[in-house]
Chains A and B, each alone.
Chain A
Amino acid sequence: MKNIYKIYLTGVGGQGIVRVSTIIGEAAMRKGLNVVMSELHGMAERGGIITTEVKIGDVSSAIIQDGNADLLFAMEPVEALRSLEKVGPNTSAIVNSAPIIPFTVSLGIDTYPEISQIITELQSKIKNLFVIDALELARKAGDTIVSNIVMLGAAAAIPGFPVEKELLLTSMKETFPASTIEVNYAAFESGYETVLSEISRR
């Protein structure tokens, strides 16, 4: 069996899922690894769900079989639950606890579960689960828009993540304009440190 690392990323349009996935892919490429990624555009951008799939290693298709993700990267708690079919016994997860309440909830069509209920449910399925408030960490880093980079830093600290921190930082440098690179670096570090200290506590 070949060594392939599979990441399922999910969130809501506007959260920067495609951007962060591309940064991971470019870092993997820079390391000399093969990498493929699948992304969906179009109507989903209007506040809908965005998912991408990244596979690093000797592989052709970017789509992950059910139960096969090595890492679930969820920018939104309900979207983490919605992605459980990609989660199996060997999946680790990094989940942002900051919710984005769909408009269907305001209209009274749907209800949004309690965050604590979501986390308990995730804990019951995923052994290696990390939950962080990426929105708050991003705010502290200087801009709420960099939540995705907080999450990227957090993912990079999870054992088994196949691309080193330095390579990800290089990818970021080539992606972002010079004026925003400091806040992005700060965001990355805060996510990275949060997960590292969580691991050392466990």
Chain B
Amino acid sequence: MKVKQILTGKEGENLFLLGNEAAVRGALEGGVGIASTYPGTPASEIGNVFSRIAKEAGIYFEFSSNEKVALEVSAAAAISGVRSFVAMKCVGLNVAADSFMSTIYEGVRGGMVIFVADDPSMYSSQNEQDDRLYARISGSPLLEPSNPQEVKDSMKFALELSEKFNIPVLVRTTTRVSHMRGVVELGKIERGKTKSTFEKNPRQFVVMPATAPKMRQELILKLRDIEEFANTWELNRIIDKGGDYGIITSGGSFNYVIDILDEYNIPAKVLKLTLSYPFPEKLVKDFLDSVKQVVIVEEVDPVMEKEVFIILGKYGIQKKVYGKLDGTFPRVFEYTPDIVRESLCKSFDLHLSQKESYKTDIPLPSRPPLLCPGCPHRATYYALKQAVNKLGIENPIYATDIGCYALAIAPPFEMADCNLSMGSSIGTGCGFARATDQKVIGFIGDSTFFHAGIPGLINAVHNKNKVMLVILDNRITAMTGGQPNPGMPFDGMGGTAPEISIEEVVKASGVGFIKTVDPFNLKRAEEAFTEALQYDGVAVVIAKHPCAAMITDRERRRKGIHITFDVNPDKCTRCMVCVKEFACPAICVAQDGSVHIDPLLCDGCGVCRQVCPEKAIEVRK
């Protein structure tokens, strides 16, 4: 399949789509005119697909500088009457939360979907937060699709629901739904409005103490109406396989439940909640009345389980509930079919046979993620470490941030001491500078700097917090797969765009020491770091070199040039500096102890040549 087919695929055609790809198709079928995102896994592919097809689809799409801005762009579109779609990862909603709360109060004129992808088991996130709780804090209706077809269909439905009740709708997936592929039958693409006229109504669209109380009252009324709707909506449905066991489930967990029931022929009634907030009290109460005992299968917090207890308490019903709170299901990490099978066995006192499986006693080498061969961050860390060591700086604090460069937590660099969230390197750096007498060195990437780094930097200068900050500008948003950011000369629709200069922003923030270096020149980089580390005040070094995975390699392949390097065995003394201190994965040690460079892995950056004290690394002939 080619990405374009997500747009060009005809009504009735089947495509094998990722949940995230299906979300984009669903948005187009739902007549979305404006879409925005900040890339974050497990939601990253949404922006990737939009950026490839938005122009041809005739809609507007942007990679916003952060999730809050992305949400504001889409909120304003919906307030103006243009259907909109904003996507982000679970923790992105923390960034957007301030405006998110207000937009739920204000409501919309055109439909608005806020798509969030949670990450149980934290495959690519810093926490396991359950964004279904945000529906409850804000009062936004919540949809939980289970598979790519449902993801697509729920977009159109969410947009209609949003317009009908004049409220943005939250659609929540998990990694296993966003990154699930399945057969999706396409519907018709609706050409929605891309422009409208904003009709003024400050009582609806300006939140302040004079206006918000009325909005709050209206919100409660809306939620009552939506709950009424959820009680009878056909996609909140019961799958009756007989018996008097009850199971309430939603999202990705539903898939495990239904497969286990089918495989083992277990009689049970399953209530699948797709519109799971406002929690449909009447539907759930009737369901509880119809079963002897009930199991709640949900990821990742006991959210629906607590709602069930509220209903049982409110009506004084005695019923055994199995879930997370009684320890039947694990409290942390994502579910698997094995976990659901075993937990259902515990709940219903079943004994299901399971297949024998194997394991090996041979110790296996681990395979942690690493900075790629040719990664400019490796050169940056190497050069900085040299400077720190030569200056004899003892026990510096490395305040790092969200991005590939946090992989420097691993040996041999071990230059990641604290990280809270996007942009936190500078804010925590300010705190460390005040709370300790240790040297504080911060790391932040280009996209992360634009996202949430700038206020921290201004704070550091204004409050005279002495932080040495390294901005690792690899000319892309790398960790999420290579999306553009404001520092690049093109936008999310492939057009040209003004390139925002990090150096100018830093200068305008009042930073006293600024130097931009190419880390591939180790000597120059080390000199810059040495100077910056000795500067009395806020110092910034911008280490600027394109990401190896995104730009260098692609350009090289296009031009058909690919130089690689090798170790000259006559010169190599096996000092292991290149292996143990520079640590490029392309450099490997054979069983006889000799050092080689794997030509398949070598990116040809040549930085290892500068590292080798014996000048033993040469261009491969």
Contacts and interface: CB of A to CB of B under 8 A. Distances in A.
Contacts of B621: none
Interface in A12-30: 12-13, 22, 25-26, 29
Contacts of A36: 147, 180-182
B364 A105 contact: no
Nearest to B181: A37
B210 interface: no
A104 B368 contact: yes
A99 B181 CA distance: 29
Contacts of A46: 369-372, 404, 407
Contacts of B252: 61
A65 B41 CA distance: 25
B376 to A, nearest CB: 14
Interface stretch (B90-98, B253-261, B416-424): B253-261
B219 to A, nearest CB: 35
Interface in A38-87: 38-49, 59-68, 78-79, 81-82, 84-87
A60 B254 contact: yes
Interface stretch (B23-31, B279-287, B579-587): B579-587
B357 interface: yes
Contact of A35 (B183, B262, B585): B183
A118 B362 contact: yes
A110 B367 CA distance: 10
Contact of B354 (A22, A67, A87, A144): A67
Contacts of A40: 123, 175, 179
Contacts of A179: none
Given A22-B1, A25-B181, A101-B588, A41 B360 contact: no
A193 interface: no
A89 interface: yes
A41 B371 contact: no
B367 A87 contact: no
A178 interface: no
Contacts of B412: 107
B350 to A, nearest CB: 15
Interface stretch (B64-72, B334-342, B516-524): B334-342
B259 A60 contact: yes
Interface residues of A, number: 65
A88 interface: yes
A66 B338 contact: yes
B359 A103 contact: no
A106 interface: yes
A102 B366 contact: yes
A112 B365 contact: yes
A45 B407 CA distance: 13
Contacts of A48: 367-370
B583 A38 contact: no
B355 interface: yes
Given A40-B123, A174-B2, A62 B366 contact: no
Contacts of A82: 364
B357 A43 contact: no
A62 B336 CA distance: 10
Given A26-B1, A60-B254, A81 B360 contact: yes
Contacts of A144: 600
A107 B411 contact: yes
A39 B367 contact: no
Given A65-B341, A78-B364, A47 B372 contact: yes
Contact of A22 (B45, B181, B356, B583): B181
A38 B1 contact: no
Category for how many chain B residues contact A: 35 or more
B506 to A, nearest CB: 28
B37 interface: no
A113 B364 contact: yes
A106 B124 CA distance: 26
A125 interface: yes
A60 B364 CA distance: 33
Interface in B344-363: 354-360, 362-363
Nearest to A78: B364
Given A26-B16, A43-B124, A84-B357, A63 B176 contact: yes
B44 interface: yes
Nearest to B598: A101
Given A66-B355, A88-B357, A102 B365 contact: yes
Contact of A87 (B41, B263, B358, B580): B358
Given A67-B357, A103-B585, A38 B176 contact: yes
Interface string B19-57: 000000000000000000000011011000000000000
Contacts of B372: 46-47
A49 B370 CA distance: 11
A194 interface: no
B589 interface: yes
B481 interface: yes
B588 A106 contact: yes
Nearest to A59: B259
Contact of A47 (B181, B364, B365, B369): B369
B146 interface: yes
Given A67-B357, A88-B356, A107-B583, A102 B367 contact: yes
Contacts of B358: 67, 84-85, 87-88, 125
A79 B364 CA distance: 9
B1 A103 contact: no
Interface string B549-561: 0000000000000
Contacts of B479: 42-43
24 contacts: A2-B262, A12-B367, A36-B147, A38-B176, A42-B42, A48-B368, A60-B254, A60-B258, A63-B176, A65-B341, A66-B355, A67-B356, A67-B358, A68-B357, A88-B358, A89-B355, A102-B367, A103-B583, A103-B588, A105-B365, A110-B366, A112-B365, A118-B362, A174-B1
Would you list the 4 A-B pairs with minimal beta carbon distance, nearest first? A67-B357, A42-B124, A110-B365, A67-B355
Given A67-B354, A106-B585, 6 more contacts: A29-B16, A41-B45, A48-B367, A60-B258, A62-B255, A101-B588
Interface of A: 1-2, 12-13, 22, 25-26, 29, 34-49, 59-68, 78-79, 81-82, 84-90, 101-113, 117-118, 121, 125, 144, 174-175
